[in-house]
A = this chain, B = another copy of it.
Amino acid sequence: MAEAKAESLRARIYRALDPEARKRGLSITNIALAVLIVVASLVAITATEPTIYAPYARAFITAEWVFGGIFLVEYLARLWVAAERPGAGGPWKARLGFMFSFSGIVDLISVIATLTPGTPAGPLLRAFRLMRVLRLAKLGRLSSAWRHMAEAVSSRRSELILSLGVGVGLMVLSATLLYLVEGDAQPDKFGSIPRALWWAVATLTTIGYGDIFPITPVGKLLASVTAITSIGLIALPTGILAAAFSDAMARHREAAPSEDEKA
């Protein structure tokens, strides 16, 4: 009898925690946890700002312990209810399976990161916590959107890798040219190819911080050609992705014309 009740409690917690256990929509627990993860991440981001952290150090430390406690309880609960997952074999095998699954490892790291403040890599591990929100992406519309995007990107991965290769090649080429042409005029900025590469990256991605740019006429001429090339460099992957998305949609419609209406 007690066993049956525990079973039923475990099953209920499982349905509350695992978004895949429900047909559609999110359980209140999942929404609350997602909000908590975002809040905890915002707190962790803010905590790195000394002018905010200093006067409220106690509050930040308390908050981290509270978040850590909740995430620890959540982790243990997930471990416990893993046995409910359909087709997982025995309960302990299912729990081991969860521990070594991608989301299980992300969860464990998140808990450890929250409960060990002061480590140098702490901020990175806490930013990492945001990945846990990804769990929600398994749901309904978002899940199919993920699949669409992944399909479209991966169907054209050769072209995208080639675009990247062409881009990197152009960066090396223009950095080399500007090193040769501009190196004498601005040795601290264009005095080596690695230094000139910093300029080439900022130029070909059209960021243009403005910390480094040619000042000689020939350098400006070559930089102008590089700058105009940058439009092509942005247009190439964009055009490939646009075509890939169009293609994916067209295939989709042909394969299952009514699925779009259902989704």
Q: Cβ of A172 and Cβ of B45 under 8 Å apart?
A: yes
Contact of A210 among B177, B210, B245 (CB under 8 A): B210
Q: Cβ of A207 and Cβ of B227 under 8 Å apart?
A: yes
CA distance A50 to B172 in the complex (A): 18
Knowing A158-B141, A231-B234, A245-B243, the reply to whether A49 touches B205 (Cβ < 8 A) is: no
Asked if A114 is at the interface (CB within 8 A of a chain B CB), the reply is no
Asked if A144 is at the interface (CB within 8 A of a chain B CB), the reply is yes
Asked if A85 is at the interface (CB within 8 A of a chain B CB), the reply is no
CA distance A176 to B41 in the complex (A): 12
Provide the residues of chain B in CB contact with A244, threshold 8 Å.
Answer: 239, 245
Provide the residues of chain B in CB contact with A240, threshold 8 Å.
Answer: 149, 235, 239, 241-242, 245
Q: Cβ of B193 and Cβ of A45 under 8 Å apart?
A: yes
Asked if A236 is at the interface (CB within 8 A of a chain B CB), the reply is yes
Q: Cβ of B206 and Cβ of A49 under 8 Å apart?
A: no
123-160 of chain A: CB within 8 A of chain B:
123-124, 127, 130-131, 137, 141-142, 144-146, 148-149, 152, 158-159
Q: Mark A169-204, 1 if CB is under 8 A from B, else 0.
A: 100110011011000000000011111011001110
Question: Number of contact residues on A: which range applies?
Answer: 35 or more
Knowing A243-B245, A246-B246, the reply to whether A176 touches B127 (Cβ < 8 A) is: yes
Assembly stoichiometry (copies): 4
Asked if A7 is at the interface (CB within 8 A of a chain B CB), the reply is no
233-263 of chain A: CB within 8 A of chain B:
233-250
Knowing A162-B146, A238-B242, the reply to whether A48 touches B141 (Cβ < 8 A) is: no
45-74 of chain A: CB within 8 A of chain B:
45-46, 48-50
Asked if A105 is at the interface (CB within 8 A of a chain B CB), the reply is no
CB closest chain-B residue, reference A246: B243
Asked if A98 is at the interface (CB within 8 A of a chain B CB), the reply is no
Closest 10 CB pairs of A and B: A239-B241, A243-B245, A210-B210, A207-B208, A145-B158, A242-B242, A49-B192, A239-B242, A235-B238, A127-B176
